[in-house]
Structure 1
Amino acid sequence: MKFAVKENDIQAAAVESSKRRRLKYSPTAATNSDEVIPSLKMTGASVCFPMEKPGKPRGEDAHFISTKYQTIGVADGVGGWAKLGIDAGKYSRQLMMNSVRSLRRLPRCAGGVNPKRVLQHAYKRTTAQGSSTACIVTLSGDKLRAANVGDSGFLVIRNGGVVYRSPTQQRGFNCPYQLGIGKDNPSICDEIEFSVKSGDVVVAGTDGLFDNVGESEVVEIITKTCRDGDLNRQVSYLANIALYNSMDAYTEETPFSIASRKAGRPHKGGKRDDITVIIARIE
């Protein structure tokens, strides 16, 4: 199945992933299932839990997995636009849809996919109102390359520990950099290159994941669920932990509550939000 360019069709789950999983919530995934055989290969699975909001059944997150281009992406529409009657989820979905189109249309350089160029190309063609964070990660040879804007991001797990985590871009507490008309543009993105090895695990997500599950808990979950090699079980388990933590109003220690205290805005429990998680194994 080819990637559909219609707005409604971006809800279709990834072709390859859909053969391996049956997730109830995956409203914004898209992929290309052509086989690629690089020196290392990235195989991924994803899940998205939209937060229940009146008039926004699809939430404000979007993501994609492209097997052919060995690239994954996540985006989080900025919810503040709702005060103006604007659904920022339309922006994030269009941005990710245009990113997949850009993967197909842009010429590949010697180093493989250039994630910043993909983001620039997609940004120029995104016309929806609103704004969004964005993180695009690609594998070329033994190099993981990424372009990141805002507080979505990824981490790399190796031998039971985090060996890399993408930095967060924000102007202040809970105020991330964001792509959009009248907002930031891809020139301010963090460009990342990191050497990976077979057996590494990449965990990418929106802040709905990283605000509710700390690094050590992510590592523990990945380690506990990696024995059978079932990426679908791993990503479902991790996303459900994030969902549970987001609704826990009593725990003192979530990444969001810790950051809130540091910012002088005490907050108990997790943060209710859309939750998008991609887990990709390098092999």
Structure 2
Amino acid sequence: MAASTASRLWLPRPTASSPSPRPPPRLARFSPLRAAKLESVLSIGTHVIPHPRKVETGGEDAFFVGDDGGGVFAIADGVSGWAEKNVNPALFSRELMANSSTFLKDEEVSHDPQILLMKAHAATSSTGSATAIIAMLEKTGTLKIASVGDCGLKVIRKGQVMFSTCPQEHYFDCPYQLSSEAIGQTYKDALVCTVHLMEGDIIVSGSDGFFDNIFDQEILAVISESPGIDESAKALAELARKHSVDVRFDSPYSMEARSRGFDVPWWKKLLGAKLTGGKMDDITVIVAQVNIVVIPDDEGAIVEREKGAEKVTVAATATASAEQKG
């Protein structure tokens, strides 16, 4: 029996078409895999050399360093004039720095060095006074500074000094100072600065015994020749100490004294003499370098960052154990 017409109808078979190429996978906007974070942190080196006549007591400078935020450091220089009143000038500076360290994580401070100075000063019960500087680096790379008096700080970038604090003084050799007496200065008198730092920037901070005895070009030379921050701090302190006891060295201190009208007697001037020499003092030096570390949010995330003109891709999985550069 013949097949029905319907059973012989031909229907075209669907042909398998080539699959269209798929775009490469992309992280969704709200993907749980987030980019790693880049944070600024400080590597810090320190060195202290007391006044030649105060070696046994450790001198009258004090300092502390910490890892709060991206890093923090502070220096206080006890005012030696209190010794004439039978007061140990070191007690005030040391207590001021101890209190600064204690209040570092206080909620009211909130990474503000000026507020930290306020709370540390208010809690200091020792008799005396001190100049002081506190510097805090935020993880975003912003350096916050508060200083009272003539402890100083410089930022070096690519072999040049690109920022310096300015000393505060009532008159030559009499700086602003935080004091146990009501007539002294307070945190409200502090010089407050904000500096945006980059990876590789070097911070050099110190008491006036350091900056009174060394020039900027010497600082730059020592930094460039030293293998690391610890070596830099030690070399800078030792060079300043060498200058401080050299009566023939025309130091920044002696040059400033002459510019303010202080000099040798007139009869010495007739012989061609002039006021020269370093200034013997306690010398405290802190050297810090800004480093960028990668903090992965999630394993496998990828982040891109600009480093100079070169675009660098960093895999978080490869840097989960990234260490701070020295």
TM-score category by the smaller chain?
A: 0.7 to 0.9
Matched, 1:247 2:248: no
Amino acid at match of 1:80: G
Deviations 1:2-50 (A, max 9, x none): xxxxxxxxxxxxxxxxxxxxxxxxxxxxxxxxxxx97111110101111
Does structure 1 retain, via aligned residues, the 8 Å contact 2:74–2:133? Answer: yes
Deviations 1:163-213 (CA, angstroms, capped at 9, x unpaired) = 000111011111100001221111100111011100100001000100000
Cα distance in 2 between the residues matched to 1:120 and 1:107? 11
Give the 3-state SS of the residue equivalent to 1:187 in structure 2.
helix
Does the Cα contact within 8 Å between 2:133 and 2:152 map onto a contact in 1? yes
SS in 2 for 1:105: coil
Distance in 1, Cα, partners of 2:203 & 2:247: 29
One-letter code aligned to 2:255: I
Q: Size of the alignment, in residue pairs?
A: 240
Question: What SS does the corresponding residue of 2:40 show, helix, strand or coil?
Answer: coil
Counterpart of 2:46 in 1: which secondary structure? Answer: strand
Q: Distance in 1 between matches of 2:38 and 2:65?
A: 16
3-state DSSP class of the match of 2:195? Answer: strand
Cα shift readout 1:80-117 (whole Å, capped 9, x = no counterpart): 111111111110000000000010333564xxx10001
Letter in 1 for 2:133: C
Measure how far apart 1:54 and its partner are: 6.0
3-state secondary structure, aligned to 1:47: strand
Q: Does 1:153 align with 2:152?
A: yes
Instruction: Give the share of equivalent positions with the same residue, in percent.
Output: 32
Q: Secondary structure at the match of 2:131?
A: strand
Instruction: Give me the whole-angstrom Cα distance separating, in 2, the residues matched to 1:168 and 1:179.
Output: 14
Cα distance in 1, alignment partners of residues 56 and 74 from structure 2 = 21
Task: Give runs of aligned pairs for residues 170-185 of structure 1, distance below 5 A.
Answer: 170-182=169-181, 183-185=184-186
Q: Give, as a single letter, the amino acid of the residue that structure 2 aligns with 1:135.
A: I
Higher helix share: 1
SS of the aligned residue for 2:248 comes to: coil
Q: What residue ranges of structure 1 are gaps of 5+ in the alignment?
A: 1-36
Of 271, 280, 283, which aligns to 1:272? 280
Unaligned runs of 5+ in 2: 1-36, 264-274, 292-326
- Aligned equivalents of 1:105 and 1:124: distance in 2? 14
- The answer to which structure, 1 or 2, has the higher relative contact order (CA under 8 A, 6+ apart) is 2
Equivalent in the alignment of 2:219: 218
CA distance in structure 1 between the aligned counterparts of 2:209 and 2:162, rounded to whole angstroms: 22
RMSD of Structure 2 on Structure 1 (CA): 1.5
Q: Distance in 2 between matches of 1:50 and 1:43?
A: 24
